[in-house]
Structure 1
Amino acid sequence: MKMTRNIAGNGRTGTGHALRAILTAGAMGLLASCSTTDMMNQNVVSIDASQGSEQNISSLSQVIAANPNDPGAYNVRGAAYGRAGDDRRAMDDFNRALQLDPNYYQAYANRALIERSLGRQMEALNDYNRALQINPDYDIAYIGRGNLYREAGQQNDALSDYTRAINLNTTDPRAYHNRGLIYQQRGQQEQAIADFSSAISLAPKAPYPYNGRGVSYLALNDDQNAKADFTKALALDQQNAESWANMGLIFEREGDFQKAASYYQKAKALNPSYQPAIQGLQRVAGGAA
């Protein structure tokens, strides 16, 4: 089973992740140039920014010194190390937590995140499976496993896991957003829009669900709502190449090639290899002159 190396959310943000162009099933013509970003790697859940600080880790180490057989203390410090990007120490702490409590399902799911970031995708899958054996109602493990399945191209398995997490009333927006991406790829735009809207309600300051919903609106030829969503995505994050390229596509569809070119140029400046921006510039080159 082939899986790509990425770090899931739930307290970890992927570094240098590639923005992925999603060819929206059922869309025609220019819509193929619009794109949505995976939320698997985005830190959209509210997390204390100081969790991975040296001060916080030092405090947690003092707790462990006073309670050396407390698996919860190791699990929390492991999460802090993971937040700080220290995968080795994070792995050591999760391993210790599981030595002390082999049924600590949260530690299995946390260790899976580290294994995934280290490229050990099968080990991560095994840990998610173990977490779910211990607690079949653990929504975070379903989302994490679903992300692994989706990266491996196992869309049906991923959809099943995201749906299971949603049926468990998860408050993690990744379940809705990533299921929405699957619906979008399958041309089920109404279902995708509903899922992106749910993700937005859970993470209103994350730009990615707005981009996703905007692409689905475009697939339905609802340019007005698509433009509103891309505008919101840009307001939330002006360093996101896909937001600029998506807005460029809106102006291209409106026939304003000069304005479209300026948005594509901005997207290309942010990510010189971003194909939707490069292709957009090629399309509007004559009209923008």
Structure 2
Amino acid sequence: RFNRGNIGGSIEAMNEAIKLNPRYTKAYLARSSANFMNKRIGAALADADLAIASDPKSAIAYAGKCFLLSEFGKQGEALGVCDRAVSLAPNNAMALTIRGLVATRLGNYSIAAADLERAISLDPNLYYAYTNLALTRKAQNNPLAALNFARRAVQIAPQSPGAQSVLGQLLVATGDYRQGLFALNRALILNPKIAAAYRARSQAHQALGNTAQAKLDNTLARQYALSAPDGLIDDISFLNQ
């Protein structure tokens, strides 16, 4: 049900699983993922706590909680939870990726890059890591490296709205407005609620003289700014693995 987009139905099934086994860690993690996809971050965080309570040694449960705290804007608290996840599983690529995301949001770019590069060495197909590393390299004023990582993320996961959005943002930032619009349009077809994609598209349209479209995209960016993540991680279905 989850994989087919029936998020409500998947939550109902997970509720039944938890009734049958209240210590079923994977069910709490799966329900946490589903709640996040339903924009119920508080419920998702509560489920992550329940997963940790049922299995205090679950690295992925701590990684999930770290990501959710980060989405709430609690970066300092998130970092401590991510440290716990990595200490439990030093070779878990997803835990390293999420800690890298948090470090990027905190402005600790060299630390973020180390985590993300380590994650890629462990799992070369983890496109989340490439997307976040692209943003880290951008923050480090290395636009060429940033674009290369973003393109790699899109190559691995062309259906990822987050990867397409980041590529589009970087192309616009380097002045390649038409290619940037192509990637941003693709991202917004896949997920029409990515505020950062609208902001970048507004900038591209403004540069190309499409003032009316730029104004509309700027309005949409404000509309979705508080209702959707910026696409750094498209969903947390990794909790279902």
**Which one has a bigger Cα radius of gyration?**
1
Which of 197, 200, 210 is 2:167 aligned to?
Answer: 210
The 1:198–1:99 alpha-carbon spacing in structure 2 relative to 1, beyond 3 Å, is same
Deviations 1:116-164 (A, max 9, x none): 3444433321221111111111122112111211111111111111111
Matching residue of 1:264: 214
Matching residue of 2:181: 230
TM-score (norm 2): 0.74
- Give SS of 1:126's match: helix
C-alpha distance in 1 between matches for 2:173 and 2:199:
18
Which of 78, 92, 95 is 2:49 aligned to?
Answer: 95
Of structures 1 and 2, the one with the larger relative CO (CA 8 A, separation 6+) is 1
Structure 1 residue ranges without an equivalent (≥5):
1-45, 252-258, 274-289
Matching residue of 2:61: 107
How far apart are 1:99 and its partner, in Å? 2.5
Matching residue of 2:81: 127
Question: Which residues of 2 match residues 107-186 of structure 1 at below 5 A?
Answer: 107-186=61-140
The 1:260–1:137 alpha-carbon spacing in structure 2 relative to 1, beyond 3 Å, is same
Deviations 1:191-228 (A, max 9, x none): 1221111111133242313313413653xxxx5xx523
The 1:154–1:235 alpha-carbon spacing in structure 2 relative to 1, beyond 3 Å, is closer
TM-score (norm 1): 0.63
Name the aligned partner's letter for residue 230 of structure 1.
Answer: L
Name the aligned partner's letter for residue 228 of structure 1.
Answer: Q
Q: Which has the higher helix share?
A: 2
Question: Which residues of 2 match residues 75-86 of structure 1 at below 5 A?
Answer: 75-86=29-40
Name the aligned partner's letter for residue 146 of structure 1.
Answer: G
Matched residues, number = 212
How far apart are 1:271 and its partner, in Å? 4.3
C-alpha distance in 2 between matches for 1:66 and 1:157:
42
Deviations 1:8-34 (A, max 9, x none): xxxxxxxxxxxxxxxxxxxxxxxxxxx
Name the aligned partner's letter for residue 195 of structure 1.
Answer: F
C-alpha distance in 1 between matches for 2:147 and 2:73:
32
Say yes or no: does 1:50 pair with 2:15: no
